[in-house]
Amino acid sequence: MIESFNLLGRNMYDLDDYTAEELNAILDATVVMKEINQRDYKKLPTLKGKTVCTLFIENSTRTKISFELAASRLSADLISFQASTSSLQKGESLQDTVETLNAMGVDLYIIRHSSPGSPHLVHKYSNKPVVNGGDGRHAHPTQALLDMYSIKEKLGTLNGLKVVIVGDITNSRVVRSNLIGMKKLGAEVTICGPRTLVPGYMDEIYGCKVEYDLKTALKDADVVMGLRMQLERQTEGLFPSLEEYSKHYNICRETMKWAKKDALVMHPGPMNRGIEILPEIAESPQSVIIEQVANGVAVRMALLFLILGGKM
Ligand code: CP
């Protein structure tokens, strides 16, 4: 039995609109979905007759495919919009694109776009629930949900844990959603990176700690999350070279000695192996990076189920 709270028909632009109780309801429903994903027959009829559209106008592997798999495992019909072969390439606007898809009977949209706020526009044009699959540097709420689920699954709770997020904070939508969600569930979050990649006032805005020295940041950490160096969003020389960045901030066996023994190692992917994280630690027993991906399917099944009012 899944407790639905009041998620029916809701948008998920970010986690700030959701209470701790609602976030826990999603994580609890994820436990059920994960069990279904471990069966031989991984399908439920619960969203039969509903239509889900993945509207990804920026590249993705994990988020897009896991949402599509989630929709299919719940028996929803799926429209997998391909931006590169669509009429967007002929200059069609986002509004006309959404109104066209809406005319075909979409019940829920998942959008990824390089522009912050685009999920709000999709809701305005469609009047249907919209889940943000990543909008520019703003938010990536389902990544944060799967990160929180992965921690809770391994360590039992987020309450009182020290989570350290290391890397390109400025360009990361993952860090912003995680700061909101993890704080709501009681974690202490420290962000760490070079001064040029950490925006000002993060401590005041998000109630986190800010460190620029990796050794200081990692002291007593229960969880260490590396962030991808977003090479495609770098427009200026914010550090002298990737080698220089890696020398001071990479997550490897040596630097993990500064955290608690057996601290979890996480990364939202895609990884730049050898820059922000070394394979020796990404592939170690401490790492839950592959489990994060698997949990992404379950968390997205839970969310689609709750928003579209599935029954089981
Ligand atoms: N973590 C994440 O959002 O990965 P994708 O860009 O592959 O979806």
Structural domain spans, the chain: 15-139+295-307, 141-292
Domains 15-139+295-307 and 141-292 share a fold: yes
Strand order of the sheet with strand 108-113? Answer: 77-82, 51-56, 108-113, 130-135
pLDDT-derived band at 18, boundaries 50, 70, 90: very high
- Say what the pLDDT of residue 237 is: 66
Looking at residue 231, what is its pLDDT? Answer: 73
Confidence category of residue 93, pLDDT binned at 50, 70, 90: very high
Strand partners, 110: 54, 131
Return d(Cα 138, Cα 286) in angstroms, integer: 29
Residues with CB under 6 A from ligand 1: 60-63, 134, 140, 143, 268-270
Instruction: Domain 15-139+295-307: give its CATH superfamily.
Output: Aspartate/ornithine carbamoyltransferase (3.40.50.1370)
The b/e string for 282-297 (b: 16+ C-beta within 10 A; e otherwise) is: beeebbbbebbbebbb
CA distance 202 to 75: 41
20 CB burial (10 A radius; 0-12, 13-18, 19+):
middle
pLDDT of residue 4: 64
CA quadruple 137, 298, 161, 264: dihedral sign: negative
Mean per-residue pLDDT, 197-217? 97
For ligand 1, pick from 62, 147, 228, 290 the residue to mutate: most ligand atoms within 8 Å of CB.
62
User: Contact at 8 Å (CB) between 172 and 197?
Assistant: no
Provide mean pLDDT across the span 125-145.
98
pLDDT score of 230: 79
For the chain, what is the mean pLDDT?
95
**Hey, whose CA ends up nearest to atom 4 of ligand 1?**
62
Q: Which residue among 60, 67, 288, 293 is best mutated to probe the pocket of ligand 1, counting the most ligand atoms within 8 A of its Cβ?
A: 60
The predicted model gives 223-227 an average pLDDT of 98
- Confidence at 233, pLDDT banded by 50, 70, 90: low
Rounded to the nearest angstrom, the distance between the alpha carbon of 268 and the centre of ligand 1 is 7
pLDDT band at 238 (very low <50, low <70, confident <90, very high): confident
Instruction: Assign domain 141-292 one CATH number from 3.40.50.1370, 3.40.1280.10, 1.20.1240.10, 3.40.50.170.
Output: 3.40.50.1370
